[in-house]
Structure 1
């Protein structure tokens, strides 16, 4: 047997067990772990101290800012107990805020928060601007600031306003307070259309009107800082009114007899609700009376914005009559309810089956008018209001005024509501007195308080037949319809009532318009519920005191 031997290879290396990484690699790994640990500890520290990337991106705690805004809102809306409850001393805060606003006759504070800032001790400081309307004088504006701190103990985590007199006003303190001083200027003066003197003392509603006309000296006064003990004046914070009375006497179209009667009629309103009225000459547009209750403050009679409710059916009826949709004897059923996106109904859910349009008008049937909405184009009411009644055009009555708005409806529900003077329609007694005058005479004449006003309006007279129908409808509303409260007065009085919804949880506004001879009138009572029950007695009182027609 032959044996073959190959060439021998190199000797095998001895076996060693696996070894770890080189020393340099272990050192690098240990260093990396140390860095990661350090970063983790740093992050934890930043989280605990609320700084760095874990801090609130918006600065001071939002809860503190919300508490500041809540305090200012409660103060401005006269929720003084609620405002006090947001402070460190609730009872004292509520008492001081009340005495400050009432003592200075501040009617409605307007308080605006500035940018919050976090202090070193953790407190949050919020500056604010205070605009304080002082009754009958003007607005006092100043700046102050609130400091908020996190409450201790049981209220831990809750922010409270750190109460102190200085937050109300920086100069209010234990030793100094504010005092309102009014100066007697005998009020603004004017002459009526017969040259008789008019003053705001005799006719309080005219105070804002005459001041705007520039007659006499506007009311003047000042807020002064005084020593609490001695009453010594330390400084004058602000002054109101002109430095001196001008002595100027404005010439107006007003009639002292009508103005006096209007003032008395509003003063007799039994429940003291906000109300206003305007009387003007239908044949010239001259305003005979402007009255507001309360007498001071906002002149809602010419600058207010209200839904006119069913008094606007004068305009709606004009559109329907001009288009030939109805005649007074046309049968237009008056159901109890009608649904157009939402449910519409009549006052006290009344209904008149088989009613004529005359009956619908005199009883102010909402559902009948709404049922005719498809007979008019979406812009028809606005077009008629502007072209024939001047609504929405620029009026120059002699003082600032709101001249009305009848926008095109956005949908079928708004179109339905617009037919009865709701939706986004806006008017006031000035506008609705003018509407009544135009319906009664057939021609728009721009209302005005001063002789020879600038008139840039352009309107078209109503067709004679439409005017005749409107006068007959308004007269029937007094003799047999919802304006019967005026039926016992002498003269050929025509009228229209209105009830305007405000909101789901507020009572309706009450409206009434009327005309007699050459005078047209309109009255609104906020929260009056119905026109016949609230505005009706006011116009009855007024017309009973002025038997003439404005001459």
Structure 2
């Protein structure tokens, strides 16, 4: 759920709000090591012909900030030391993770500077998303390059030498939660829901808190930038939250996580016909809800979307010959898992064996933005979802060059997803119609999508079924039912084991699982989904 920031003013929180956790953002320069994290979501804004070099520098600054590469972002400013400390204290002090920063069209000032407005969506851990707008000032340097002209107000317009932000949290009991049939769901009975239960609004009120603007010297509250959660006297505060979860599926999902072998993993199971979430599990059970808030490269499971884009425009058919060599160089060398090759392979063979080089060789069949357009238009990826708990809804940026375009064809590069997104992609491919995933019925739906043509759906189903019967998802072949699936192996970083993915559809259920450092999808996520589908052999009622 996205919370939009209120205008600056004298808004007061209820007197009952307890500053159980109060974190002050300290903006003094202090010594500290560089903070680094994996790539975060970053949307490319409109390219600007005003000054491409300035616009590119602004986008690079935002990408580094969003990705946690704060030393890199700071180096793009006129005051790197201060910038790095401010950005670190802002994100860490306000408990912000994985910012999403979207640049808009640049404008030029009378003094020759360039300004790039941007929208910031800042997920505050356990509370929600703080959304606001700001702008980056850029100045041309003596060497002809451009740098971000550092000032506090570019981080947030209200941040200044006299005012800073403070995060306050209120301790609240987790709400009472029930499954689709009214059975109670508790963290004791379903440990993997511990990361989820406190995210629901209603019941006990859900997590509450606020980001306050305070005077640096006196600590006096000048205003409330944004609030999270409901007030104590909200109507229905004693009513349990009725979810779409199914106790049988949830129990099976919890047990299947044991197959992760101690690795970080998560899965989502949902109904194909309406997007209702049946189960959501994480390993370890406590902490980050990576199933819906994680940001992962989806690897070859994304080939479902890539195949849809190619099939939609008639660029290939299942029997089209698309050679699958061991290696293919597009700026860098791409290869298949275990450097496999299939000379003279059909597109069907390329899909079932998950041939990276074949898919990359087809990149010229799609325009620069076409993969993202298809993901958004037909699969809802990148649109704003209202699931019922905070979620990350995916990102498919326009590739910056041919190497990145090649990577995007196989679910790498800057494409970001999670098990919720990929379970939804699988359901859409199976039915042809996107249904916004929900875990609480009756919420908002602001998505707009177009159904896939029936011929494309038929081909996708056949390709996914063949992947089970004769391809890389054969780990599911012994299970009853016409199961269709797609494996995925996603590179993380040099020298690190790959993440393993598997998505599958059986009857009216679509499932997706990722295992961090699982190496291969079939070998790591395969046993987890095999265990889940074995435990609940039928469709939910």
Q: Structure 2-normalised TM-score?
A: 0.64
Pair 1:213-2:200 in alignment = yes
Pair 1:283-2:273 in alignment = yes
Which consecutive unaligned segments of at least 5 residues does structure 2 have? 1-28, 38-80, 82-88, 96-124, 128-170, 208-229
Shift of the alpha carbon at 1:352?
Answer: 0.3
Q: Which has the higher helix share?
A: 1
Q: Distance in 2 between matches of 1:490 and 1:408?
A: 40
Give the counterpart of 1:493 among 483, 487, 495.
Answer: 483
Q: Quote the residue 2:377 is aligned against.
A: 387
Q: Quote the residue 2:420 is aligned against.
A: 430
Q: Quote the residue 2:32 is aligned against.
A: 69
Pair 1:200-2:187 in alignment = yes
Pair 1:420-2:407 in alignment = no
Q: Quote the residue 1:440 is aligned against.
A: 430
Q: Distance in 1 between matches of 2:466 and 2:517?
A: 26
Alpha-carbon contact 2:489-2:520 (below 8 Å) kept: yes
Change (3 A) 1:190 1:138: closer
Pair 1:409-2:399 in alignment = yes
Q: Distance in 1 between matches of 2:256 and 2:328?
A: 37
Alpha-carbon contact 2:259-2:527 (below 8 Å) kept: no
Q: Structure 1-normalised TM-score?
A: 0.63
Alpha-carbon contact 1:388-1:443 (below 8 Å) kept: yes
Q: Distance in 2 between matches of 1:364 and 1:69?
A: 44
Q: How does 1:117-266 map to 2 (within 5 A)?
A: 188-214=175-201, 216-217=203-204, 247-266=238-257
Look up the SS of the partner of 1:325 in the other structure. Answer: coil
Q: Distance in 1 between matches of 2:379 and 2:206?
A: 36
Look up the SS of the partner of 1:522 in the other structure. Answer: strand
Which consecutive unaligned segments of at least 5 residues does structure 1 have? 1-64, 77-115, 117-127, 140-182, 221-240
Q: Distance in 1 between matches of 2:32 and 2:172?
A: 38
Pair 1:318-2:314 in alignment = no
Q: Distance in 1 between matches of 2:201 and 2:172?
A: 17
Root mean square deviation, CA, Å: 3.2
Alpha-carbon contact 1:190-1:215 (below 8 Å) kept: no
Look up the SS of the partner of 1:202 in the other structure. Answer: coil
Shift of the alpha carbon at 1:196?
Answer: 1.4
Pair 1:341-2:340 in alignment = no
**Once the two structures are superposed, what CA deviation does each residue of 1:451-486 show, in whole Å capped at 9, x if it has no partner?**
122111111100100000000000000011000000
Shift of the alpha carbon at 1:217?
Answer: 4.6
Shift of the alpha carbon at 1:207?
Answer: 2.1
Change (3 A) 1:349 1:257: same
Alpha-carbon contact 2:298-2:417 (below 8 Å) kept: yes
Q: Distance in 2 between matches of 1:411 and 1:533?
A: 33
Q: Quote the residue 2:322 is aligned against.
A: 332
Q: Quote the residue 1:371 is aligned against.
A: 361
Alpha-carbon contact 1:507-1:529 (below 8 Å) kept: yes
Alpha-carbon contact 1:443-1:461 (below 8 Å) kept: yes
Shift of the alpha carbon at 1:303?
Answer: 0.8
Change (3 A) 1:543 1:190: same
Alpha-carbon contact 1:211-1:217 (below 8 Å) kept: no
Look up the SS of the partner of 2:411 in the other structure. Answer: coil
Q: Distance in 1 between matches of 2:259 and 2:354?
A: 27
Change (3 A) 1:131 1:457: closer
**Once the two structures are superposed, what CA deviation does each residue of 1:49-85 show, in whole Å capped at 9, x if it has no partner?**
xxxxxxxxxxxxxxxx98x425x989x9xxxxxxxxx
Pair 1:309-2:296 in alignment = no
**Once the two structures are superposed, what CA deviation does each residue of 1:472-524 show, in whole Å capped at 9, x if it has no partner?**
00000001100000001111100000000110021111000000000000000
**Once the two structures are superposed, what CA deviation does each residue of 1:362-387 show, in whole Å capped at 9, x if it has no partner?**
00000000001111111110110000
Alpha-carbon contact 2:202-2:240 (below 8 Å) kept: yes
Give the counterpart of 1:452 among 435, 442, 450.
Answer: 442
